[in-house]
Amino acid sequence: MAAWESETWVPGDETGLPVRDRRSGPYRTYRPDPLARRPLVVAPRVARRIAVVERSVRALADGPGRADLEGVSRFLLRSEAIASSLIEGIAPSAANVAVAELAQQEQVRTVGEQARLVANNITIVRRATEELVALDDVAVDDVVRLQSALIPEERHHGIRLVQNWIGGSNWHPLDAQFVPPAARHVDDLMADLLDYLNGSVHSPLVQAALVHAQFESIHPFTDGNGRVGRALIHTVLARRGLTREAVLPISLVLSTLRATYVEGLSAYRYEGPADSVEAVAGTERWLEVFVDAAAVAVEQAGRLVSEVSDLRADWTVRLARHRAATGVREVPRSGSATARLLAVLPEAPVVTVATVQRVLSVSGPAARGAVEELAEAGILRRRQLERGATGYLASEVLALVDHAERQLASTAFDTRVGPPNRAVPRR
């Protein structure tokens, strides 16, 4: 049975702290119900809403823009990383992050530290999430490895052995906004959470919502709970086959609607038996918040897919005009380096001659001919990366990513109606 439990805080022997930070006294922790065998009652209207949103997710995966979905997924993951790796409130542009990604495989020294951190975050999140998705059963040690990968700078990896809290003082939980369960409960709660994650009792969206809320309520780590909690949303949806390779920006939407997100989590943290009126209403409210965020995420992802598809069509026209002007056939051969490069640009919007050689397995002259032809057609833009090394950027793709990031940071999800409420890439 879920309960708020009374604990007593006794300060350590830290010296030099103000009196307010050396206080002792009672505080309350929240111990959630185990999840794996918790009864769930969902009102018909909420169940219908969940079904509609899940159908829209599958329609996005199977729709006319599905060829661009994998590339768009990479963009959305980049947006997730930008949102969770901000330094001093500044968000590096998608172009700078893409150059930093390139620097992971090629010699590029002109990369900013912020962009490098975001690019590393992208690589880590993708790799760690893919590993969790591929497992038959996710264990606690696997989630700990995810935490270690996401916050390598943290000294204390693993399930916490101390009390933690959200908000208030850094030195005691007496004024905290929320205090998760005492450390003695965490091992059992995490084992139960993963029993639920490894099953399929409920639909994918419901499972992702409950896993996220339960994880954030347990708060099993001393640091990195937010990043791991966001990664688990993608993990559940991919393990259940709902999003396949796609990454829905659900956590970006929840971050934008911060007050609603906190209100939904607070409602989820009921007290008493799981079948009580409070428990049913609270869980239902959280599901509404999460599914509404998923609906916005699908809409925004679909818009980006459509914009990339329109851009592809425009590229085809531009390339045909350029080739006609130079006296060659308007449409390049399907197996040519130019045609193949044009197809992968949304997924790899920053390339060099060496990149094209590696990705397409073509010769140096063929790679150079392809990037130069697309540059002359106005599809790629040249950018000096190193002395004697030129990068080629699909700037319009990167601009779409930045625009999507700004839209997702507006509480109206439209910057014409409301400005972004967090740091985003500049126009």
Domain segments of the chain as ranges = 3-7+23-302, 305-408
The pLDDT confidence band at residue 62, using thresholds 50, 70 and 90, is: confident
Between CA 361 and CA 287 the distance in angstroms is 47
pLDDT at residue 182, as a whole number: 98
Say if residue 66's pLDDT is above 80: no
Say if residue 38's pLDDT is above 50: yes
Q: Which residue has the higher pLDDT, 118 or 360?
A: 360
pLDDT at residue 90, as a whole number: 59
pLDDT at residue 79, as a whole number: 64
Between CA 9 and CA 96 the distance in angstroms is 46
Say if residue 422's pLDDT is above 80: no
pLDDT at residue 245, as a whole number: 66
Q: Kindly report, residue by residue over 303-323, the tens digit of the pLDDT.
A: 998 999 999 999 999 999 999
Average pLDDT of the residues in 356-372: 96
The pLDDT confidence band at residue 233, using thresholds 50, 70 and 90, is: very high
Between CA 351 and CA 393 the distance in angstroms is 7
Between CA 255 and CA 233 the distance in angstroms is 14
Say if residue 402's pLDDT is above 90: no
- For residue 267, what are its two tokens? 């409602």
Between CA 390 and CA 111 the distance in angstroms is 14
Percent of the chain scored above 90 by pLDDT? 62
Average pLDDT of the residues in 289-310: 93
Q: Which has the minimum average pLDDT: 9-13, 88-92, 218-222, 332-336?
A: 88-92
Burial class (CB in 10 A: 0-12, 13-18, 19+), 335: exposed
The amino acid sitting at 308 is V
Q: Which has the minimum average pLDDT: 83-97, 118-132, 198-212?
A: 83-97
3-state DSSP of the chain: CEEEEEEEECCCCCCCCCHHHHCCEEEEEEECCCCCCCCCCCCHHHHHHHHHHHHHHHHHHHCCCHHHHHHHHHHHHHHHHHHHCCECCECCCHHHHHHHHHHCCCCCCCCCHHHHHHHHHHHHHHHHHHHHHHCCCCCHHHHHHHHHHHCCCCCCCCCCCCCCCECCCCCCCCCCCECCCCHHHHHHHHHHHHHHHCCCCCCHHHHHHHHHHHHHHHCCCCCCHHHHHHHHHHHHHHHCCCCCCCCCCHHHHHHHCHHHHHHHHHHHCCCECCCCHHHHHHHHHHHHHHHHHHHHHHHHHHHHHHHHHHHHHHHHHHHHHHHHHCCCCCCCCCCCHHHHHHHHCCCCCEECHHHHHHHHCCCHHHHHHHHHHHHHCCCCEEEEEECCEEEEECHHHHHHHHHHHHHHCECCCCCCCCCECCCCCCC
Q: Kindly report, residue by residue over 143-192, the tens digit of the pLDDT.
A: 999 888 878 777 778 999 999 999 999 999 999 999 999 999 999 999 99
pLDDT at residue 378, as a whole number: 97
Say if residue 88's pLDDT is above 50: no
Q: Which CATH class is domain 305-408?
A: mainly alpha
Query: Angle 277-325/337-344 helices, nearest 10 degrees?
Result: 150
Say if residue 87's pLDDT is above 50: no
The pLDDT confidence band at residue 120, using thresholds 50, 70 and 90, is: confident
Which region, left, alpha or beta, applies to residue 18 given φ > 0 means left and ψ of -120 to 50 means alpha? beta
Q: What architecture (CATH level 2) is domain 3-7+23-302?
A: Orthogonal Bundle (1.10)
Residue of 258, 261, 282, 262 whose CA lies nearest to 272? 282
* 5 within 8 A of 182, measured Cβ to Cβ: yes
Residue 42: count of CB within 10 angstroms of its CB: 17
